[in-house]
Amino acid sequence: MGSKPKKIKENRVIFDTSFQVERLKHGKDFVARNIGPKEEKRSLFFVLYEFKTGFLRSAFDYYCLVSVLASPADALAKWSDRFAPRELKNIMLIESVIKRISEKVFDNDKKTHLRKLEAAINFTISTFDTDLELMGDFSGDEIVRFEVFGESSYQAFIELHNSRKALPQKAFWERNRIHLDKFIESKKLFSDQKYEKMFDKLNSVKIDINKLDNINVNRGIGDAIISVDSPKGGTIVTTDKIYDLLCGILDKNKVRLIAKT
């Protein structure tokens, strides 16, 4: 499990969610330093789903908050009090993107700050799959297919996201029961406290696939989906240590990089 990454097969790399975040924060230079020019760069429709329901959803919520409050400072203060650490990290990502495309991250003028937020959102959307081919399951999901076309579409996306309890995953796991079985058979490898919760969620799905209707279960096994959905003929590129475990169980290639601070 702790061995050196295997040699990349077929020059195909699959960017996971964590690497896509680093790519958005640091741009092409970060990719060029870590990924050779000859590699065939791919990502997954599921990664796009996570990007939309995580980062973009937070960005839209934050934009709407700024638009209804007196000042951007009031919005940031309210956001900090109201939301969990994950949402705060998403706003930090927005700020890092603004920094890439604008000299000044924060602007006290409300209209100017809203323009910067919209520009950052548009930039991340256009950059997400630049020079990438998306592949894998979930291409037909309505959130994956939803097209964001400016501020007028933000509320429509929020309403669509709120209307669904969770991503429909039952067909995916029915098709991939052999991989689910491998995870369950490897229970001892999940003994680290950081990974026990994921194992419990995967085990609950094996016992009763309807557990996927539970939001906590549904949202808590994303890394397992990425490891299963990535083709065996390539290499998952990630900054997340859990892929040492998941790819080891599935005998898949991965390269784990250090996130840039």
- pLDDT at position 245 is 96
- pLDDT at position 28 is 73
141-199 pLDDT tens trace: 999 999 988 888 999 999 999 998 899 999 999 999 999 999 999 999 999 888 999 99
- pLDDT at position 213 is 94
Q: What confidence category does residue 31 fall into, taking pLDDT thresholds of 50, 70 and 90?
A: confident
Taken in order 123, 125, 128, 129, the sign of the CA dihedral is negative
Residue type, 119: A
CA distance 192 to 84: 24
CA distance 194 to 85: 17
CA distance 192 to 69: 44
Q: What confidence category does residue 82 fall into, taking pLDDT thresholds of 50, 70 and 90?
A: low
252 by DSSP, 3-state: which? coil
- pLDDT at position 90 is 77
- pLDDT at position 156 is 93
Kindly list the distances between the CA atom of residue 63 and the CA atoms of 122, 177, 213, in Å, as whole numbers in the listed order.
13, 41, 30
Q: What residues contact 214, with CB distance under 8 A and at least 6 apart?
A: 166, 204
Q: Which residue has the higher pLDDT, 100 or 111?
A: 111
Residue type, 227: S
247-257 pLDDT tens trace: 999 999 999 98
* 8 A C-beta contact, residue 6 and residue 28: no
- pLDDT at position 86 is 65
**Mean residue pLDDT across the chain:** 87
| Axis crossing angle, helix 17-26 with helix 85-101, rounded to the nearest 10 | 40
Residue type, 65: L
- pLDDT at position 70 is 85
- Report which DSSP code applies to 197: H
229: left (phi over 0), alpha (psi -120 to 50) or beta: alpha
Residue 133 scores a pLDDT above 70 = yes
Average pLDDT for 89-110: 78
Residue 10 scores a pLDDT above 60 = no
CA distance 81 to 73: 13
Residue 1 scores a pLDDT above 50 = no
Specify the range with the lowest mean pLDDT, choosing from 67-76, 201-210, 226-235: 67-76
CA distance 3 to 30: 24
- Please write down the long-range contacts of 191-198, taking CB distance under 8 Å and 24 or more positions apart: 194/242, 195/242, 195/245, 198/223, 198/224, 198/242
